[in-house]
């Protein structure tokens, strides 16, 4: 059953009643007016004033680069340093000593400095580690050692040959005794 057929079977809006509501008001037939209103659907979203024509608008797909270009914004500040040589960007002591804070702000606006030195979620600062318990420090130390050391590969052939040799020796010893 389509939506149009459904709306014809059920009283959804006043237009389906024609002039009956208007006549019942003018003729002072309150009972007919209340009955006709009660026959309309309870769901307000189905009424005609809430069924406005749908306009299909194309979805705007604007990227960050387009917005930055449109509003003439500088490049985004990088999250972390790309190279260790980029630490020179943070050497701003000369400008601060000579009280050139406006120049420093301008430089930072034109070429924004990275927000952090490293972008490593697993890195924990040494000051934080030193404030933890000895057990936690040892656990962190062991964890970092495991990550840096390559894991030894399991040699199944050597393991099987070792078991076979031990079984052969045990049979030889039991036969001798």
pLDDT digits (tens, 9 = 90+) for 123-173: 788 898 899 888 788 888 888 766 666 656 667 787 778 878 877 766 655
pLDDT at 48: 65
Helix, strand counts (H, E) of the chain? 9, 0
Q: Which residue's entry shows tokens 């040699």? A: 155
For the chain, which residues score pLDDT lower than 50?
Answer: 1-7
Three-class SS of residue 80?
strand
**pTM across the whole model:** 0.31
pLDDT at 76: 83
| 28 phi-psi bin (left φ>0, alpha ψ -120 to 50, beta other) | left
pLDDT at 172: 58
Is residue 119 a contact partner of residue 79, using CB atoms and an 8 Å limit?
yes
58-72 burial string, b = 16+ CB within 10 Å, else e?
Answer: eeeeeeeeeeeeeee
Q: CA–CA separation, 81 vs 99, rounded Å?
A: 26
């Amino acid at each position: 059953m389509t939506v149009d057929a459904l709306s014809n079977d059920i009283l959804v809006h006043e237009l389906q009643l024609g002039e009956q509501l208007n006549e019942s008001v003018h003729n002072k037939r309150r009972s007919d007016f209340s009955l006709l209103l009660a026959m309309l659907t309870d769901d307000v979203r189905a009424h005609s004033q809430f069924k406005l024509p749908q306009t299909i608008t194309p979805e705007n797909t604007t990227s960050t680069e387009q917005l930055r270009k449109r509003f003439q914004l500088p490049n985004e500040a990088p999250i972390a340093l790309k190279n260790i040589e980029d630490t020179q960007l943070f050497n701003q002591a000369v400008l601060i000593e000579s009280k050139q804070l406006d120049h420093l702000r301008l430089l930072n606006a034109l070429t924004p400095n990275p927000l952090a030195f490293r972008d490593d979620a697993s890195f924990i600062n040494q000051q934080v580690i030193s404030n933890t318990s000895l057990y936690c420090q040892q656990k962190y130390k062991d964890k970092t050692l495991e990550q840096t050391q390559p894991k030894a590969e399991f040699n199944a052939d050597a393991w099987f040959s070792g078991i076979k040799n031990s079984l052969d020796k045990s049979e030889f010893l039991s036969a001798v005794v």
